[in-house]
Amino acid sequence: MHIGDHIGDYGNWTYGILSGIIFAETGFVIFPFLPGDTLLFTAGAFCASGQLSIVILNALIIISATAGNTVNYWVGQYLVKKIEISSIRWIDQKALMRTHGFFEKHGGKTIVLARFLPIIRSFAPFVAGISNMSFAKFQLFNISGACLWSLSLTICGYFFGNLPGIRDNLDLIVVIGVGVAVVPLSIAGVLKILKSIFSKKVKA
């Protein structure tokens, strides 16, 4: 069964499912593997075929992406006051440090640029929160980035997603999108485990 068949099965619930995925990817640093970019491109393609409304889709995605980043920002602000961030095991510390370096180099623009960078996208608002960026400034970049990200990808999908070579492989595109995010995280996780095991053997 293809993605288009699922959209036909779920109808308007598709908007809610897509919005939920985007909110989770941007709202929680534990979900950087979710394929936001490919989902938006694919959704744009189905807008062109009339299965979804591009206006409703973008309105909901922009709201979800903005809300997700806001929650992530608040979580960062809260945690930095309570505990040492580097001690949190469920946060990918390398990705966090990479995002922090990106943030120091580009400042508030990171919130906009990170929308187009998998993994960093999930950490940017968190870093903004622990860096105590003003909420007003954060929201300016947050809303701007959400609009630019959603509109650019869905419009690209709308105009290019139904080209024969792309339309017939939308399922594969989504799988590749997930793989691009998951594989590096999986490799990093395995290396971390192996490093821990090796360290214990050396100490023993």
Hey, CA dihedral for 19, 174, 99, 155, is it positive or negative?
negative
Q: What angle do CA 163, 64, 136 make, to 5 degrees?
A: 125
DSSP result, 113-144: HGGGSTTHHHHHHHHHHHTT--HHHHHHHHHH
Instruction: Give 152-163 pLDDT, tens digit per residue.
Output: 999 988 887 677
Nearest one of 129, 123, 124 to 81, comparing CA atoms: 129
Residue 173's domain comprises 3-203
| Residue 15 pLDDT > 80 | yes
| Residue 80 pLDDT > 90 | no
CA dihedral (28, 31, 37, 41) in degrees, to 10, reads -100
Hey, CA dihedral for 90, 95, 99, 101, is it positive or negative?
positive
In a 13 Å sphere around the CA of 136, the CA atoms on its Cβ side amount to: 0
The count of domains in the chain is 1
| Residue 2 pLDDT > 60 | no
Residue identified by tokens 């709308």 is 158
* pLDDT range class, residue 77, cuts 50, 70, 90: confident
Residue, of 131 and 57, whose pLDDT is higher: 57
**Ramachandran class of 131: left when φ > 0, alpha when ψ lies in -120 to 50, beta otherwise:** alpha
Distance CA 39, CA 30 (A): 18
